[in-house]
Each structure stands twice: as C-alpha cells, then as structure tokens.
Structure 1
Amino acid sequence: MKQAMPSLPTSCLLAQTAIACNNIKMKHVPALTDPSLTTFYLAENEIAKIPGHTFLGLPNLEWLALSKNKLDTQGLHPHAFKNLMWLKYLNLDRNSQSTVPAWPDSQQELQLNDNLLQGLQRSSFQGLSHLLTLEVEGNQLHDKDISPLAFQPLHSLLYVTESVLKGSHSLSMLVFNNNRLQEDQLAPRAWIDLPPQGLQCLMLHHSLIKCISGYMFAHMKPGLGFLHLSHNRLCADGVHGMSFHGLRASLAELLLDHNHLQTIPRGHLGLKGLQNSNLISSHLENNLIDQRRITPTAFSCSQASEHGPPAPAGEEGS
C-alpha cells in the first residue's frame, strides 16, 4: 500500500489505482487529483454534501461506492457524476435521494436501493444507453410515481428484477422496448408485484428474448390486454402451452411478428376456442412459418383480424 495522500485520512487504504475509505466517519469527499485512480470506496460514512466539482480531478474513475452515507437531493449536486465519462459502477444505496441526478453515458450498473425516490420519469435515465443493471428496491415507489416510459432510454438493460416494480399497484402501461433483455434475464416473477387489475399493456419489442417462461403472467386475472413481443428471437419451443396462462380471457392484442417462429407456437394455440376470448389482433408476420402448414382452426380464437405469414417460407415475407 502507498502512504496516504495529504488530503486523505490516514486510515484510508491506498493501492495503485484504488482508494478505500470505508466506515471512517468521513464527512466530506476529499479533493483529489489523480488521473490513474479507477476505484474509490466511500461507503458507510457521514458524507452529506458532494459539490459539482468534487470528482473533476478523477477523470478515469470507473467504480464509485457511496452507499450508507447521508446524501440527499440538496446535498448531492445534480451534475456531480456527469463528467465521469468512464464511470461504470455507482452504488448510492441507503442514502436519502428523492430525485435522480444526471448520469454519465458510460454507466453500466446503478444501485439506488433504499432511498427516498419520489418518481421515475423518462428523463430519469436519459442517456444511460449502456446501463446493464438497475436496482431501485426499497424506495416505496407507486404507480403514479413511475412513468410508463421510465425505462425506455435503457437500450442495453439486461435484467428486469422481481422488485423493480414493487409498489406499482395500478400501473397501466410499461415500456421496455429496444433493450437487450433475454429469456434468462427476465425474472419469471418480474411482474408479480403488479396486481391483476393493474398492468394493461406490456411492450417488450426489439429485444433479445428467445422464450417466455411458463406461468409468467399466471397471476394476472383478467390480465394484460396488450402484449407486444415483436422483433425478438422467439422460436416455437420458446412459447409453450403455459406461456400466456392467465391472459386467456383478457388478451386483445398479441404481437409476435419479426421473430424466429417456424410454426404457430403452442402458447398461441392455447388461446383458441375460448368462448370468452377477447383476442382481436394477433401478428405473426415476418417469421419462418410455412403458410401451407397452418391448420384452418389455428386462429379460431381471434374475434376480428389475424395477421399471419404473408407468404410460405423461403418466399418474400418469410
């Protein structure tokens, strides 16, 4: 370990590119100028104020831990992190933040658990196109506090946790489009905190989803009215008989177009033949389905229109 810098408490631990000042009752972030520093641990202290210029001398910081401090919206400058162009990991757990500050575009993991967040708007995560993991558990956010487009700017989001929507008891629409969500990164109980009478429209198009877990929507009764899964990587085996269980009496529109389906998926066929079916529109165009192999009763569940493959496999539109 190096000797402590003059502006650092002697109890801080220093390595070549890292500084750890955890749990030493520090009340402010020391002014440092060190372009080689990439990791800065400041957790479990008494820091209540971070001015906008605090990290200007640490342009290459990648990892910053500020959990368990006393930071609130007044004490944390809204642009304190904006100039950290290489920052990838930021932990602000267990502070008192009520609003979301500005983030650098480089951010990949953001932890805001156990704060006092009062709302999530589309602007809250604007510019975070590389964010892979977002944690906001323990903020007691309710449906009126979450914009349906709050997560739309997160084009690289890899995982939807089971707790990210906790408290959203009547959120009617949720948009997770244009992300990198995959089937093993979409928690099977991701929507479990949304009661049946809540979410009506779920948009997950332009992602990397290959399958829909069985019973994922089972608790939703009557359930979603609109489910958009266009432009993913769904194959027939990935949409099995129980994939849409819980939506059979409520689903009005199902979009499965622009996927990798080679046959009408079992989950779709499971919607047919229901006397109380509300399905009005279902899109399956631009898949790999051979139109000649579709049975006459395949779309008997649809009340109005069904958009199937425009041409047999191997021809235009397949």
Structure 2
Amino acid sequence: MSDLPAIHDPEASLLDVSENDITVIAAQGLAGLLNLESLNMSKNRLDDESFGPDRLPSLTLLKMLDLDSNHISKIPALPPSLEVLKLNHNKLNSLPLDSFKGLQKLVSLELQGNGLYEASLSPQTFRPLGRLVDLHLGGNLFRFVPKDLPASLQKLEMGQNQLEQVTQERLGHCVKLRVLDLSHNRLHEQSVSQALWTQLSSLETLDLSHNQFTQVPPNLPRRLRKLSLQHNNIHHIPAFSFRHLRPGLQSLQLSNNDLSHSSLNRNAFAGTFVSLAELLLDNNRLSEVPQCIRLFKKLQVLRLDNNHIRTVKQWAVCHPKNSDSTLTSLHLESNLLQVEAIPPKTFSCLTDTQGLVLHPQQV
C-alpha cells in the first residue's frame, strides 16, 4: 500500500499501518477517525511532503504516534493531545525553536538514530515539554548534552553518540532522573563533573559502558542500584567507592576491563556485601577469585569467566558460615583451571547445580 486511503470509523481508537510503502496521506485519510488514540505508521516511506498542515492535528484525541523508520527531516504539525511521540531512525538533522510547540502533554519522546547534534537544536527547543519524562537521543552526533533539558525528566538515553563531556550546568537541574544511559561514547574520569553525581540524587540506573574510564567514578549517586561499566579500561576500584550508597547496589557490571588481582583490594566492594545480586567480572585479568566474594550475602549471579584464574580455594566462593546462600549462577569457564583439582565442596553453596559452568578451560 503506497497511499493511505480515507478511513471512516468513528469508533476506532487504534490504527496500525506499519510496514507498508505509504508515501502519501490523502486529504481526508484520517478525518473519519475522530476517536483515534494510537497511530502506528512506522516503517513506511513517509517524508515531509506526506503531511499536510491539518492531517495529524485533526486527530484531537491522539495520544500515541509512531513514525519510526521513515524519511522525515522535520517535525510535522502535531495535535496537542499527544503523550508519546516516536521519530526514531528518520532524517532529522535539526530541531528549530517551534518543533514541539503546544505539546504540553508529551511524556515520552524518542529521536534515536537521526543526525542531531548540539548546534542543530535551538537552546529552547525542549522548553514547551514541561511534563516530559522519557527522552531518547541515542544514535545521534551529540558531543555535549543539549541545553535546557526539561527538569521533569526521569529517563535520558544518550548512548551511541560522540559525548566528550557531561557538565553540571547541562544536566545538574534534572534532579528527578532515575535512569541515565551514556554508553558507547568518549567519556572518561575528567569528562564528568563529580558534583553532577551529587546533584542527581534520584538516579538508580547508570550505564557508562563502552567508554574510556580507567577507574570507577567517585561520589556516585547515593540511591544508585545498577551500575554498568563494561568495556572500559578500568584497572582500579578505589576503596569504599560504594560504601555511601543506600540501600546499595544490586547490579555491578565490570566485564571487559583491565582488572587484576592487585587492583581489587579488600575494601573495593565495601558497601555492597548485603545488597549486591549480580557481579560481572568476566573478561578481565584476574589470576584468582577475589577474596571478598564469600562475603556477599545476597549474590545470585557471579561471572568470572575469561580471566587467568588457575586455582579456586575451597572457601573462595562458599564460606561454611554463609548457610543462607542465594548464589544460583557461577561462570568460571575459559580460565586456566584444572577442574579435577578443585576441592569437592568448593561450590556447595550454589542453590542450583546447573548454574555452575566450568567448561571449557583455556589450553
């Protein structure tokens, strides 16, 4: 279907015409859908000429509009009733001042996979969006966080950009942020203001994976529950980096870094022993199981595969005093272990015997 014909159904609340070849919306194509609340036109061939000035604004009850994967280069005229707008994977390379004018009810905006960068946005582009909660800007060309983001934001995704700096001035006012994705960028310790983490007091999930950090950032947000630092150059975890967190980390992902036995001192994980459920240390340079592992009280998933571990001592993972173990999954494959030499009760605390992976080992 290349043209969207006129549709007359006053009772319809949802219309899905995704995955077609629609290029034109007829003048009266949507006029007969007075009660439409959700419209999915993703994966078509829509461009800026496909929308007349009154095609979409006539849908006065529309709440969700999906225009993903089309050929749109500017924001079309939209109804003020809109709450969710998806424009991922289009050809947007600028957002003028009036791009979101009148959209005071918008709570979710997705603009991933376009050609946006900081100079292509007016400083006040997002100002009308006073209720915006979720903002997705991943897969663009940003070197810096845009100015004047809505203070109402609870989730910001800026993965797969070219971010070199994240400043307190650009993001510090977003005190309601709960989820922040800065993965796949060019960030390191000096790129992020330490004072920023203190201001983001509501942050619970932070993704800094696929960057250039060499150590765990200090002064992390107090309420942080999940921290992803995979695929960095981390070779050091400062002592007591997590001790101030309350109620404490539940997930810590440190896979694919440069951690060795000497870089994990006895206080590296202090503050997480009674909260952590997932610890990923695979694909590092560990020569033995870290001594602190047996101190975790709620650990469920532990990954130590693809390291240089040669031996596992009897009480390295399971301590006899830890009778209430929650460990269900342990990966030790692709190390330098002689499996037959491991003491027989070394993994007795695993609650699921099928969760233990020891093979294959490196030659």
The answer to whether the superposition gives a TM-score over 0.5 is: yes
The higher radius of gyration belongs to: 2
Aligned to 1:103: 220
Task: Normalising by structure 2, report the TM-score.
Answer: 0.52
1:24-103 map, 5 Å: 24-32=140-148, 34-101=150-217, 102-103=219-220
Shift, 1:108, TM fit: 1.3
**Contact 2:130/2:152 (<8 A) preserved:** no
CA distance in 2, matches of 1:41, 1:214: 31
**Bigger CA drift: 13-22 or 88-97?**
13-22
Aligned to 1:20: 136
1:1-318 maps to which residues of 2 (within 5 A)?
A: 1=85, 3=100, 6-7=122-123, 16-32=132-148, 34-101=150-217, 102-128=219-245, 129-154=247-272, 155-161=274-280, 163-164=281-282, 166-170=284-288, 173-181=291-299, 185-187=300-302, 190=304, 193=307, 195-197=309-311, 202=316, 208-209=324-325, 219=338, 223=342
Q: Quick one: distance in 1 between partners of 2:123 and 2:161?
A: 16
Deviation at 1:125, TM superposition (A): 2.3
Amino acid across the alignment from 2:197: F
Distance change in 2, residues 1:8/1:46 (3 Å): farther
How far the C-alpha of 1:180 sits from its partner, in A, is: 1.9
Check 1:108–1:210 CA distance in 2 against 1; reply closer, same or farther (3 A cut). Answer: closer
> For the Cα contact (< 8 Å) 1:202–1:227, is it kept in 2?
yes
Greater shift, 41-50 or 150-159, is seen at 150-159
| Paired residue type of 2:275 | S
Q: TM-score, normalised by structure 1?
A: 0.58
- Structure 1 counterpart SS, 2:240: helix
Q: Percent identity?
A: 18
| 1:214 Cα deviation after fit | 10
Match of 2:64 in 1: none
* Contact 1:71 1:96 survives alignment (8 Å): yes
Write the distance in 2 (CA, Å) between the matches of 1:83 and 1:90: 14
Query: Within 1, Cα distance between the matches of 2:204 and 2:182?
Result: 14
Decide whether the 8 Å contact of 1:143 with 1:170 is kept in 2: yes
Q: 1:49-81 deviations in whole A, cap 9, x for unaligned?
A: 122443221110011110111111222223322
Distance 1:88 1:198 in 2: 34
Query: Which ranges in structure 1 are unaligned for 5 or more consecutive residues?
Result: 246-318
> Equivalents in 2 of 1:148, 1:165: separation in Å?
21
CA RMSD in angstroms comes to: 4.0
Structure 2, unaligned runs of 5 or more:
1-84, 86-98, 102-120, 359-363
User: Do 1:67 and 1:94's aligned partners in 2 also have CA atoms closer than 8 Å?
Assistant: yes
**Larger RCO: Structure 1 or Structure 2 (Cα < 8 Å, ≥ 6 residues apart)?**
1
Using the TM superposition, give the Cα deviation of residue 143 of structure 1 relative to its aligned residue in structure 2, in angstroms.
1.2
Aligned AA (2:250): L
How has the CA–CA distance of structure 1 residues 68 and 226 changed in structure 2, closer, same or farther, with 3 Å as cutoff? Answer: same
Which deviates the most, 74-83 or 214-223?
214-223
Give, in angstroms, the shift of residue 212 of structure 1: 7.5
State the Cα distance separating 1:215 from its structure 2 match.
11
Aligned-residue offset at 1:48: 0.6
Relative to structure 1, the CA distance from residue 70 to residue 238 in structure 2 (aligned partners, 3 Å threshold; closer, same or farther) is closer
Distance 1:210 1:70 in 2: 37
Q: CA deviation at 1:167?
A: 1.7
Check whether the contact 2:189–2:214 (CA below 8 A) recurs between aligned residues. yes
After TM superposition, give the deviation of residue 144 of structure 1 in Å: 1.4
Q: Is the 8 A contact 1:21 1:41 kept in 2?
A: yes
CA contact (8 A) 1:18 1:39 kept: yes
Q: Tell whether the 8 Å contact from 1:172 to 1:199 is kept in structure 2 after alignment.
A: no
In the TM superposition, residue 156 of structure 1 has moved relative to its aligned partner by: 1.1
- Which whole-Å CA distance do the structure 1 matches of 2:210 and 2:328 have between them? 34
Q: Distance in 1 between matches of 2:330 and 2:206?
A: 34
Paired residue type of 1:35: A
Distance 2:340 2:310 in 1: 5
| SS of corresponding position for 1:123 | coil
